[in-house]
Chain A
Amino acid sequence: MDLSLFLQHMVNAISLGFVFGLVAVGYALVYGVVKLVNFAHGDVFMMAAYFMFYTSLIFGAPWLSAVILGIVFTSLLGVGIEKVAYKPLRKYPRINSLVSSIGMSFLLQNFAVVVFGGIQRSFPVPEPMTKTIVLGEIRVQAVSIYTIIFSIIMVLILTFILQKTKIGLAMRILSRDFDTARLMGINVNRTISFTFALGSALAAVSAVFWALRYPQIFPFMGQYPGSRAFIAAVVGGIGSLKGALIGGFVLGLLTVLIPAMFPEYSGYREAFIFLLLVLVLIFKPNGLFGLEAGEKA
């Protein structure tokens, strides 16, 4: 493989890695605070794509405002899901909430099939995103560049919220100990709602970039990026934002480079990725960057 081809693959891998990473950060955020593996995250992602599709279709809203409305709706959906499906189970063993999130994922998918229809629809892609930039022998889609820039911005905003604001402080305390947090006068319910709103907004933003790359939306579109991001979050150390981003990167690299370098094994890509997941969990259950029991948020 020559250098330019390798660079071409690397560019694809990095921008895909950022999308995975962004979804994974949403997982990690919710896990870090509530200690819940939210299997429905990928389906919130799918709902976000549909919200944006319908706001731009029905109201004929300009692309950007449709996206912003979509993000708002998705946040509300995330908060609603938490209120209905996770809050009543908070005092029971964690496995109950896990099953509930599986059920919620199932419910959202089937809801989408019934309400939005099972057929694929094309997501509107605005003009500047469709361009391809040529740098020497490498061709880069404009979407990839936007993805990388906006992902970095999103992560910076998130870090700011977590480290510098009062609600971020509350989230960090909640991730350590619920009861102590309550004793310190933190409104647990409001903080958890905010966490879900933030996590769902992240899912919505990543859905935008996903849909710009693959402009076909359908009720089961959340499954693949959802499961990938979930693996990324676990490999990186579930609960750690930095780990989630790096995990997303690793998965992006594997997803693009395995078929590129070893075409004869490309079919086994999924097996490799899941094997990585299983091995990491068995030998390093806290993930590559997860801390033993210390800072997780």
Chain B
Amino acid sequence: MKRSTRILLSILLILVVYIFVFFAEKYMDPFLKRILNTGFIYVILAVSLNLINGFTGQFSLGHAGFMAIGAYTSALLYMSPENKLSNFFMEPLISPLDQIQLPFFWAIIIGGLMAALMGFIVGAPTLRVRGDYLAIVTYGFSEIIRSLFNNLQNITNGPLGLKGLPTYTNLWWTVSWAVITIIVIRRIVDSSYGRALKAIRDDEVAAENLGINLFKHKVLAFVVGAFFAGVAGGLLGSLLMTIDPNSFSILFTYQIITIILLGGLGNITGSVIVGIGFAFLMEGLRFVEMPMNIFGITIPGILGMRMLIFSILLMITILFFRQGLFGTREFTWEGLVRLFTKRKVKQQ
């Protein structure tokens, strides 16, 4: 298939998605819309973490920390001065943050850039620490961020968090950012940079011997991954309308790791499908916590059942689907065509 045909088909697909978004924004049930928004935010998070963990093989547990930075930076920029005044009643917000108000788009971008800066700082030690030690260092970083945010009363409002954030996030934003994330990361992975990243994942020493600059490439993965995590954090803050440091704990990172493991490490298609599916699953599983009526016997809802089922699913994936549900099979237009032609052969 020609390159131009593939690009044309991709543009068509994006158009179809946007037509769907247009109708969804107009007619869809707000509850469903909310789940879809969360799903697309999961997609951004999963695809960006996949760049670090899946393609570069640097096992990072710091994604929640990057999100927290993005969420707070952008929230402090897009909130109105009056809104900030009502939030910071313990200690006033330091100037000039208390007067600034930027449009949502720029606030999100700056949030992403701040997270990217943090990604650089976290990515720099990757030259010295590897494997599970790196996982520990990144976990440490995300805990440091959480602890700082809990204490910097005059910047983050401490453990009280920020409340009453304006709801700018809608499907237009989340879908657009998800599309940008997928395109950018797909382009990186398919470029010479991406091949270098995969070489580092497969054998670091061999990659270095081939003349690949380890520091540059690892840090690149962290910076790009952290940028999109920051963007996702900003979008999530505006969707939930409230953020506090403790909602960006390691548990959030585990959820994203579950998504990329289920989708398959280093598989963007898997991250996208599982990311959206995960949002629906987490909402759908809420029924297990409600009282149920089976054949006239009422079973009281059990609190925490949803998370138990979630963790059992996680364990099953880890133990039995080590390649994820999709393995290394990526979505390609050629693959789709082959799928249809194969079916035709079968029908004859």
Contacts and interface: CB of A to CB of B under 8 A. Distances in A.
A85 interface: yes
A274 B143 contact: yes
Contact of A99 (B131, B143, B318): B318
Nearest to A107: B311
Interface residues of B, number: 37
B148 A89 contact: no
A274 B250 CA distance: 14
Interface string A276-288: 0110011001000
Q: Is the interface of A mostly helix, strand, loop or mixed?
A: helix
Contacts, number: 112
Interface of B: 59, 125, 128-129, 131-133, 135-137, 140-141, 143-144, 146-148, 150-151, 251, 254, 257, 261, 302-305, 307-308, 310-312, 314-315, 318-319, 322
A102 B129 contact: no
B151 A271 contact: yes
Interface stretch (A110-118, A186-194, A254-262): A110-118
Q: Is the interface of B mostly helix, strand, loop or mixed?
A: helix
A88 interface: yes
Q: With a 10 A CB-CB cut-off, give which of A84, A96, A270 has the most chain B CB atoms.
A: A270
A89 B131 contact: no
Interface size of A as a range: 35 or more
Given A114-B303, A234-B136, A270-B144, 5 more contacts: A84-B319, A89-B319, A109-B311, A113-B304, A281-B140
A274 B141 CA distance: 7
Contacts of B136: 37, 234, 277, 281
Interface string A88-104: 11001011101110111
Contacts of B311: 103, 106-107, 109-111
B128 A88 contact: no
Interface of A: 37, 84-85, 88-89, 92, 94-96, 98-100, 102-104, 106-107, 109-111, 113-114, 118, 227, 234, 267-271, 274-275, 277-278, 281-282, 285
